[in-house]
Structure 1
Amino acid sequence: MSAPQSDAAAAEHRRGLLAGWGAYGIWGLFPLYFTALEPSGAWEILAHRIVWTLVLCAAILLLRRELLGLLSLLRSRPRLALGVAIAAYVIAINWGFYVYAVSTGRTHEAALGYFLNPIVTVGMGVLILRERLRPLQWAAVAIGAAAFGYLAVSSGQIPWLSIILAFSFATYGLTKKRLGASLPALQSLSAETIALIPLATGILLWLTANGEGTFTAGAPWHPMLLVLSGVATAVPLLLFAAAARRIPLVTIGLIQFITPVAQLLVGVFLLHEVVPSTRWVGFAIVWVALVVLSADSLAAARRSRRSRRAPQPSA
């Protein structure tokens, strides 16, 4: 590789890292944003996220003259449209329970769910995709299962909120992989919010009919914050897409832990949530599993680079 090419590749890598840090950093600070949306409840916030994200994405696609093309593509490819719809409703479950966790003072449980997510994803790869795991991956899954068992026994109940968040996000990724819902980030988010508009409309109509909507409360700041939920949803996703194009998957896998770390810090130090000592032990066990999983990913990446650099035998 020539010097200019090397410099260009290094610059692309730096841009990818900055985009990745930006995406995961924004997601990690979401608890502060959702707390600022009080008195809106989880359902109302979910509905507004869907509506204003679609408004923003549709406006961008109209400016780029891509909206009609996206709608035509979804009509002509039913399997793609089905994958988008399923993925959309799975991620809506994740969004809804995440906002619920923050609004009920359980941000630390949400953080635990996102710490568990990589382990759940690996487990799904074995059970559903029939993938073969390396020894360290098996060890990480076993340690993660031990953490789940410890949390259930020590607290006297299953940590259902963390489990729902971990499984819904892992299922979201699996759905997009299995059903071929592979679109560029902006088009994918647009298509998913289109699929969710009936849900969002129904929620807002129900809230309005029961006098429980808060859109006009605390004007002008509260309505403005709800409208900005579209920007808050779209921007980190687009940053993530930019990062994924520029940096290796193993790097993405490592920096993704910025989000639950930030969530945990925000929950404990800024929102003043009390985390029981048994929950801290559970976190520690999960972190051991993540260290093992990360070590395996780094080792696999090094082996892959060595195999690509090794001279190929001549014919």
Structure 2
Amino acid sequence: MPTSTVAKQELQGYLLMFGSIIIFSLLPYYLQFLAPVDGNILFSFRVLSQLAFGGIFLAMAGKIYALKASFIQPRELLILCFTAPLVGLQWWVFFWGPVNGETINIAMGYFLLPITISLTGRFYFKEKLTPLLWLAVGAALIGVSVQLFKNHTFSWVTLLVCLGYPPYFILRRKSKISTTSNFVAENILLTPLALLLVYIGVIEQRPLLPALNWGIVLLLGSGLLGTIAMLFFVSAASRLTLTVFGMLNYGEPILMMLVAIFLLNESISHNQLWSYGFFGIAVLLVIADSLLRIMINRNNTFTSIP
């Protein structure tokens, strides 16, 4: 693949990643407008609305029939049977957590996620780490060590986030189905669970719509935002090395933590500040490495022109 094509693909990956970071970081605040709907119902509506919007996107792209390949090819269907529950757990905790005061623990999970993804890229996919990325991983590991030393453990929410995504992306890279088709197929497999949770909510007489006016519009909006953010997220993963993609994930928990503190009034302990400080250093090192890579690719492109 020509250098210019690789550089263009990498730039697209950065832009898609930044888009997903901004949307995902603001979603916990958006969910507060959906009260008193609980996390299970929010997850269910997310799956159902993502299925609808994903189907619309496929239809607009003229690829609705490509969805069939996900279910008629045994290998692809087997991969889906593993990726759907893996990503479904992430969607559930992302919508359940903010309405149950777990935004800080979700943010901590996303602080650890770049380490687990980057190490997966290094040792599973044999990707090479630049010196700056090694320093970034080192800074992040120090942050993790501080957290473990102070608290001796992590929340189960934190562990679910940081350990659940690496196997998902390993499996997704083995699939030959397009990102959007895979996304819609995963939602199709999760739909029975979503409908079951809605049914349980009806039986238990839980609120199904937000108290604010136009509640159904707000619910659909959460699904649309989740669809766009997830498509951006997975598309970025296919355009960047898993190491770089993993380290760029630090942008999300930093913004999410700020949302939790300043918009959701959740508290952060003094001990956690030390960890976040080292995570912040890791982010700066990743940004520096990314800018350096872009400059090198640009110089190589110019020098290759006769």
Report TM bin, short chain: 0.7 to 0.9
User: Which residue of the partner structure matches residue 121 of structure 2?
Assistant: 125
How much has 1:192 moved relative to structure 2?
1.4
Q: 1:152 aligns with which of 141, 148, 165?
A: 148
Distance 1:126 1:246, change over 3 A: closer
Are the structure 2 counterparts of residues 47 and 145 from structure 1 closer, same or farther at C-alpha, using a change threshold of 3 Å?
Answer: same
Q: Is this contact kept in 2: 1:81–1:181, CA < 8 A?
A: no
Q: CA deviation at 1:189?
A: 1.7
User: 2:216 corresponds to which residue?
Assistant: 223
Q: Tell whether 2:257 aligns with 1:260.
A: no
Matches within 5 A, 1:26-37: 26-37=23-34
Q: Distance in 2 between matches of 1:164 and 1:99?
A: 14
In 1, distance between residues paired with 2:75 and 2:204? 38
1:83 Cα deviation from its structure 2 partner: 2.2
- What does residue 71 of structure 2 align with? 75
Find the aligned partners of 2:57 and 2:134 in 1 and give their Cα distance: 44
* Superposed displacement of residue 20, structure 1: 5.2
Aligned residues: percent identity?
Answer: 23
Report matched runs for 1:30-45 at 5 Å: 30-45=27-42
| TM-superposed deviation, 1:261 | 2.7
2:187 aligns with 193
Unpaired segments ≥5 residues, structure 1: 1-5
Deviation at 1:282, TM superposition (A): 1.0
CA distance, structure 2, for counterparts of residue 299 and residue 17 of structure 1: 14
Deviation of 1:275 after TM superposition, in Å, equals 0.5
Structure 2 segments unaligned to the other structure (5+ residues):
none
* 2:118–2:242 contact (8 Å) kept in structure 1: no
Deviation at 1:54, TM superposition (A): 0.6
Tell me: CA distance 1:125–1:14, structure 2 relative to 1, closer, same or farther (3 Å).
closer
From 164, 169, 177, give the equivalent of 1:168: 164
Deviation, 1:118, is: 1.8
Q: 1:220 to 1:238 in 2, by over 3 A?
A: same
Q: CA deviation at 1:226?
A: 2.1
The CA distance in 2 between the partners of 1:79 and 1:223, in whole Å, is: 38
Name the counterpart of 1:233.
226
Name which of structure 1's ranges 32-41 and 295-304 shifts more when overlaid on structure 2.
295-304
Residue in structure 2 matching 1:184, options 178, 181, 185: 178
Q: Distance in 2 between matches of 1:186 and 1:162?
A: 27
Q: Which amino acid aligns with 1:120?
A: T
Match of 2:46 in 1: 49
Closer, same or farther: CA 167–208 of 1 in aligned 2, 3 Å: same
Q: Do structure 1's residue 291 and structure 2's residue 284 form an aligned pair?
A: yes
CA RMSD in angstroms, aligned pairs only: 3.7
Output one character per residue of 1:211-262: Cα deviation in whole Å (capped at 9) or x when no partner.
Answer: 33x2146375333322333212122344557878999999977865443232
Distance verdict in 2 for CA 1:62–1:112, change over 3 Å: same
- How far residue 103 of structure 1 moved from its aligned partner, in angstroms, is 1.6
Give the match for residue 203 of structure 2: 209
Normalising by structure 2, report the TM-score.
0.80
- Asked whether the equivalents of residues 215 and 226 of structure 1 are also in contact (C-alpha less than 8 Å), the reply is no
Please tell me whether the aligned partners of residues 248 and 283 of structure 2 are also in contact (alpha carbons under 8 angstroms).
no
**Cα deviation, residue 21, structure 1:** 4.2
Q: How many residues align?
A: 299
Instruction: Return the offset for 1:113.
Output: 2.1
